[in-house]
Amino acid sequence: MALTPKETLPGNNSAVFPMKIAQSALIESTFSSTGAVTEDATIALGWKPTDSVTAPLCDETGHYLLTIRKQGDAITIWKQGAQIATLSYATVGGATYAQLLQNVLTAIAGSHYGYYSRVVVIEQALDYAVFLEQSELVTGLWTPKSLGALAPHTLLTFGDSANLGQDGSGNGNHWTITGTQTTDTPTNNHATLNPMVGYPSTHTGYNAPGFSGGNTTATASGGGTYNCCLSSMPLPDTGKWAWEWEIISFTDSVVLTLVQHLYGTWIDAFVGNWVWRVNNFTAVYTDFDGTTPVSNTSWGTATGDVVRVEVDMDTKTVEFFNNDESQGSFTWSMAHGPLFPAVCLESDSNPDNAVRFNSGATGFNHTPTVGFKALCAANLEVPVIRSESVADIVLREGTGASAAVSSLEFQPDFVLIKDRDTARSWGAFDSKRGTEKALFMDLTDIETIKTGSLTAFNTDGYSLGDQTLTNAAGCSFLDLCIAENTDQGFEIISYTGNSVVGRQVAHSLGRKPGLVIIKSTTNSQKWIAYHHGLGATQGLYVNETAAAQTATSFWNDTEPTTTTITLGDHYGVNYSGAGYIAYLFAESDIFKIFGFIGNSLADGPFINLGGRPKLVLLKNTEGSGGSWMLYNAATEPTNPVDTQLLPNGANVETDYAEDVMFTANGLKLANIKYDSNEDGSLVIGFAILESTNYNNAY
């Protein structure tokens, strides 16, 4: 199959990746090379795993940029710019470079299977900075660099589909490789099927299929009524998109569909959110059970046929093609939520259904209609704003004396400070209330003047005095800093309560806030939070572990609007004469407000956030309740992200084993804890993203 050329569009990734990688090789077998490994050597490559279950390289939704340096017996491995492991060559072994590469990947990822791109072997001991650089346009993104004057021992670019192991260095150090040439690379990540999605026990009869072919092939695995999976990328909110389903085999029902996957909860027949279903390849149906066919859509599909799906997100239309023959164009309406290509394979004791998802990385079987694009990074818009210009995390050491933080790209309006080493309260400061005026997120205390705490908000950061709450000598601090930016979904509002039920407070976000956190500054009251996953009949206490509370007095059972939030007469939000501060967040490129149903399994839910997390806050709202759990990428730049802070308590930073996994486009729960993954309970969350659309694997 011939590869289609990569499209170039206004706002595409040409500026993001000055150095493009055009091809990769999907390799899911052993490969080999000749010649001995020297005393000092470096292997640099792009790699997207397809069979990895082991941290730190467990993200199968994006590409890693890896540097493996051998210096005598010592092997050092970097993921992008972060060192992730040190190994002993005597232990790992590998007489040739091909063997060494496979052995290292297996040691740190559990498998060497994956998409390989630009494999460079240099017979010197070098570090990652020789091969990679950070993007100036996208926060947190590392990009390949030109090799310049470097003289590789071996250079594999996978440009010849008939000879994937051809050495491009001119030295004749060819490798023997069996695989498939693709355009799924670190500079053009393609959608595949997502093997990281977990299923709540409430979805009886649903589980994952078997995955193969670089996570593009789904095979019924038995053990359930349906084996279901969805794309690793959602459809963008606008534009025209195309993909194919290649029919490998079937005898039972196969559902090829679009599905809403609302941040970790499979939306299925029981809540009526299947958009379109191709049932047993006989017609297009509007319902999951296949009882309501769309007229004039009957066709017979056989093994080897190709079903193409084209979706226009602007007109909300979908068109199905069977072997390039249109079955008609249809419109739909749906609630808010990401939309994904998805497949469900009927499964029984003798499963025999299998399909292949093709996002164009190996070329389309049939040319899509003009204007319809492949679901890949090259066709996505460049983020319009760097997250570092709105929100960032500062890690610093306390000095016990006056100090200035000047590393930010913005002037913060909200700074939340926590001593990571000492059981000390959280200090919350904002520009609306002014400097040295502290609120304590884990306490009900009123606003308190803390002399020498946060003494100034500056254009590139903030100033600190000698206050132990914020700058104790010898202690490590984490500071969450956010600029008030209504376009990107954050606003701070100060108001005085009046005890009027139904009182409306105006905001300027221009859309409905999804998270509202309110604290009385003059009365000793709890912190109270609204989250759109719970709705306006309930609230959460930020300084407590309790499950969600139902009370009309919080929000008067009235949802926020695009211009106002509505309050009841609860002392915590609207007592007459009391002062209040409200922090409002709305969905944006940077802030994500979500929820999911826990399953109490190490193979927990996957939450597609549309980007790589910088910070994640989780809270179990039902059952056992539990602490608020805060995870961040600054403290844990590699998986697993198992270091936590608890906003409802003064606890020190604590490490937990295998807690959560960050990915290129979201979050994977990998624990059985009731705080964040209790079976059947709604867990709500808030995330700050590093970037959208363009991300390295985490």
Interval 271-305: pLDDT, tens = 334 455 665 666 676 655 556 666 666 666 678 88
Q: What is the pLDDT of residues 367-399, one digit of tens each?
A: 999 999 999 999 998 877 778 899 999 999 999
- Lowest pLDDT segment from 79-93, 333-347, 521-535: 333-347
Mean pLDDT of 312-323: 90
Q: Distance between CA atoms of 278 and 275, rounded to whole angstroms?
A: 10
| Average pLDDT score over residue span 604-611 | 89
Summarize pLDDT for 450-494 with one digit per residue, the tens.
999 999 999 999 999 999 999 999 999 999 999 999 999 999 999
- C-alpha 537/C-alpha 135 separation (Å) is 44
Q: Please indicate whether residue 75 or residue 209 has the higher confidence score (pLDDT).
A: 75
Residue given tokens 């470096």 in the structure block? 42
- pLDDT score of 1 more than 60: no
* Tokens representing residue 639 in the block: 């998986």
Task: Tell me the three state secondary structure of residue 444.
Answer: coil
Q: Collapse the DSSP code of 25 into the 3-class scheme (helix H, G, I; strand E, B; otherwise coil) and give the result.
A: strand
Helix (H) or strand (E) holding 101: helix 97-109
Burial of 406 (0-12, 13-18, 19+ CB in 10 A): exposed
> What's the mean pLDDT when you consider all of the chain?
90
- Does residue 438 carry a pLDDT above 90? yes
Q: Which pLDDT band holds residue 4 (cuts at 50, 70, 90)?
A: very low
- Select the more confidently predicted residue: 11 or 207: 207
CA distance 589 to 400: 37
Condensed to tens digits (0 to 9), the pLDDT of residues 178-192 reads 999 999 999 999 999
- Examine the pLDDT at 8 and tell me if it is beyond 50: no
* Distance between CA atoms of residues 105 and 58, nearest Å: 11
Quote the Cα angle for 610-616-621, to 5°.
105
**What pLDDT sits at residue 200?**
55
Tell whether domain 193-374 is in CATH 2.60.120.920. yes
| pLDDT score for 21 | 97
Q: What is the DSSP letter of 77?
A: E
Pairing of strands 206-207, 226-230: parallel
CA distance 634 to 653: 13
Query: Six-digit token pair at 532?
Result: 């759109």
Q: How far is CA 584 from the centre of its chain?
A: 22
Please write the tens of the pLDDT for every residue from 108-143. Answer: 999 999 999 999 999 999 999 999 999 888 888 999
User: In the chain, what is the straight-line distance between the N-terminal and C-terminal CA atoms, in Å?
Assistant: 32
Give backbone dihedrals phi and psi of 645, rounded to 5 degrees, phi first. Answer: -120, 150
- Enumerate the domain spans of the chain: 24-182, 193-374, 391-482, 490-585, 591-689
